[in-house]
Amino acid sequence: MNGLETGKPPLLEVKDLSVSFGDFEAVKTVSFTLQPGEILGIVGESGSGKSVTCRAVMRLLTGAARAQGKVALDGQDLLALGEEELCAIRGRDIGMIFQNPASHLDPLRRIGQQVAAPMIRHLGLGRREGLRRAVKLLEDVGIREPEKRARSYPHEFSGGMKQRAMIAAAIGCQPKLLIADEPTTALDVTVQARILQLLKELNRKTGLAMILISHDLGVVADICSHVVVMRNGEVVEQGPIDDVINRPRHAYTKLLIDSQPGRKTYGTADRPDRGAPLLEVENLSVSFSSGKGLFGGLAGNSNSFRALDGVDLTINAGETVGIVGESGSGKSTLARSIIRLNTPSGGAIRLDGQDVGALGGEALTAFRRRVQMVFQNPYDSLNPRLTIAEAVAEPIWRHGLADRKAAQKEADALLEMVELPRSLRDRKPRQLSGGQCQRVGLARALALKPQLLIADEITSALDVTTQAQILELLVKLQRERSLTLLYISHDLSVVSSFCQRVYVFKAGRIVEEGVARQVLSTPQDPYTQALVGSLARLPSLQTTPSAEPVSIHAT
C-alpha cells in the first residue's frame, strides 16, 4: 500500500483507470491510493500519462476521451457522476494547480476576483467577503502587499507570483485534495524552493492531501512521502520515496534517477579552456524606460530600469560557459544584447575583436551568421505556418547560402543531425512535443554554421530524460562543429555538470565567476550560496544496477 499507515480508508482510490483518445490508450490500468494528509508524487517523462491521469481524477478530459475504471474520493466514484455533481466537487473538494499559471489566469480579471471566485461560487460568500478572504489568502501564500496585489492583473505578476495566486485560488474552499501539475517547472531555484516550502506548510498546518506531478525527482524527494513512476501510460513502480530512489526495481526508474541533473556529467565540463577569446563583453549596461502614460517615456513620467550594469565577461573559442541567476537577473537581456536584439546604453561587445555595435549592412548580416541563438520557448520562436523542414531551410536560402531546393536537402540533413526522424519533416510545430520542437530550433540555429551558439533556458521545461538527450546532442555537435556555447539556465545542477566556467548574475551584475564545479559546489558570494542552498536535490543514492537496459527515443 502506498498510503500513510493510519488505518483509515484512503481519501482517493484510483483502480484500473484507463483513458483512451480514439484508438490511442494514453493511460492503462493505473492503480494507486492516497491517504488523508499524504503527499504523493507522480513522475515520468513527457507523454507518460501523468497529467492525463490527474485530469481524469478531476474529470477535466476532452469530450473525445473515454475513461474507464474507478476513481473514488471518500468512497464516491467520480467517474459515475454527472456534470452538475462534478461542478460541485471541483474547486470545493478538489483543487488543481496547473503547470502554466499564465494560461489559466484570466488576463482581463483582477487577481483578487479570480482568487475569490471559487469561494463565492461554492461557499455562497458575498462579493465583498470573498474579496476580503482573497486578500488574506494572498497574504497566506506569501504575496507582499496583498491588498494592492489583489487589484493587479496577471500580467503585473511574475511567474512565481502567478503560481502563488493559483495556489491561493485552489485552497480557498479548503479542499480535501490538491493536485499540483508541475507547479515549479521553469521557475528559478529560489522561487521553486519557496513554492515547495509553501506546499509543505499547507500540508503541515491544514492536513491537505496532495498529488504532485513532476519530472524532477529532486523536487518529489523533497516534498513527497510516496511516489508513483509512470511510463507509456502505465505504472512501472510505486512505493515509499526512499525505497524507490535507493532501491529501484524497474530499469526505467533507474534511468530517471541517472538522468537527474547533477547525477550525470557531460564531457564539456571536463575540458580545459581552448583557444583565444572569441566573445568579449566590457562594462556592458542596458537600460529600459517605462512610463505611466500610454506612450511610456513620452508621457513625462518615465523611469529608467537598468537591466545590466557594468557587465564584463569573456568566452574563449570552443568553450562552454554558463550564465545562472534568478528570473530578472539579466541573463536573457545579455543574450539579446549580444545578438543585437537589445541596444546597450553603455559598454562594448566584441566578436573576434570586432565591435558588434558598430556593424551594419553586409558586416551585420555576416555577424548574424556567426552568432545564433536557441530560444527558451520553441513554439514561440518557430513560424506556426511553416513545416519544420521549411523552418530549417528558410535561413539557408534567405542568407544566399543555397537555392531553395538545395536548402531543403540541407534541412533534411540538419534534422537528421539533431536526431529527428524523417517522418516528421512535414509536420508543423504544434504537431510536435516540446523536446522535438527544441531540436527543430537547434537545427535552425545550426543551419548557418555559427561559431557561437547561445542557448537560453532551452531545457528548462523539458523532462529529465529529454533534457539529457538535448545536452548530449549539444556535446556531440560542439565536438563535430567546433562550436562555442553560451548556456543560460536557472538549473545549477545542469550548469555544474555541463559547463566549464560560470558567471552568476544578480540584479544585472556579476557577483561571482569561475570554474563551474568549484563555484557551484563551494560558492563564496552569499547570493550564490543562497542559490545553491535552494536547490532541490536527490538524497545520496545507493542504486543497484538495472536488470535490463531501457532505451529512450528522441522526444
The DSSP result for 273-292, as a single string, is: P-SSEEEEEEEEEEEEEE-S
- How large is the average pLDDT for residues 92-109? 87
DSSP 293: B
Q: Please provide residue 61's backbone torsions phi and psi, each rounded to the nearest 5 degrees.
A: -80, 155
pLDDT value of position 63: 76
- How large is the average pLDDT for residues 89-99? 90
- Distance CA(453)–CA(214), nearest Å, equals 29
CATH 3.40.50.300 in the chain: give the residue spans: 1-93+175-258, 275-290+304-384+449-533
pLDDT value of position 267: 62
Greater confidence (543 vs 388) lies with 388
- Distance CA(534)–CA(182), nearest Å, equals 18
Q: Residue 61: is its pLDDT beyond 70?
A: yes
Stated length of the chain: 555
DSSP string for residues in 137-162: HHHHTT-SSHHHHHTS-GGGS-HHHH
Extract the runs of DSSP E, i.e. beta strands, from 291-383: 303-316, 320-324, 346-351, 354-355, 371-374
- Distance CA(347)–CA(334), nearest Å, equals 12
pLDDT value of position 270: 59
- How large is the average pLDDT for residues 278-294? 79
pLDDT value of position 477: 86
The DSSP bridge partners found for residue 264 are 261
513-526 pLDDT per residue, tens? 999 999 999 999 99
- Distance CA(294)–CA(292), nearest Å, equals 7
pLDDT value of position 198: 87
Burial per residue of 388-399, b for 16 or more beta-carbon CB atoms within 10 angstroms, e otherwise: bbbbbbbbbbee
* Distances from the Cα of 250 to the Cα of 81, 227, 244, 257, 533, angstroms: 36, 13, 9, 11, 31
- How large is the average pLDDT for residues 312-333? 92
Q: Residue 5: is its pLDDT beyond 60?
A: no
Q: Which residue has the cell 540584479?
A: 507
- How large is the average pLDDT for residues 405-425? 91
454-485 pLDDT per residue, tens? 999 888 767 788 788 888 888 988 888 889 99
Give me the sheet containing 76-77, strands edge to edge.
24-34, 12-21, 65-73, 76-77
pLDDT value of position 268: 62
Average pLDDT, the chain: 87
- Distance CA(209)–CA(444), nearest Å, equals 45
- Indicate left, alpha or beta for 59 from its phi (over 0: left) and psi (-120 to 50: alpha): left
Percent of the chain at pLDDT > 90 equals: 60
- How large is the average pLDDT for residues 283-299? 64
Backbone CA torsion sign across 460, 465, 467, 468: positive
pLDDT value of position 415: 92
Q: Does the reported pTM lie above 0.95?
A: no
The DSSP bridge partners found for residue 505 are 510
The whole-angstrom distance between residue 427's C-alpha and the CA centroid of its chain comes to 24
Q: Residue 541: is its pLDDT beyond 70?
A: no
pLDDT value of position 302: 52
The angle at the Cα of 318, spanning 317 to 324, to the nearest 5 degrees, equals 95
pLDDT value of position 547: 38
CATH number 3.40.50.300 is the correct assignment for the domain at 275-290+304-384+449-533 = yes
pLDDT value of position 293: 44
Pick the CATH number of 1-93+175-258 from 3.40.50.300, 2.40.50.140, 3.40.190.10, 3.30.1360.120: 3.40.50.300
* Among 277-281, 510-514, 530-534, 538-542, the least confident range: 538-542
Distance separating the N- and C-terminal Cα atoms of the chain = 33
Q: Residue 303: is its pLDDT beyond 80?
A: no
CA dihedral 355, 358, 362, 363 (to 10 degrees): -10
* Among 7-11, 156-160, 194-198, the least confident range: 156-160
User: Nearest-CA neighbor of 168 among 145, 192, 133, 141?
Assistant: 141
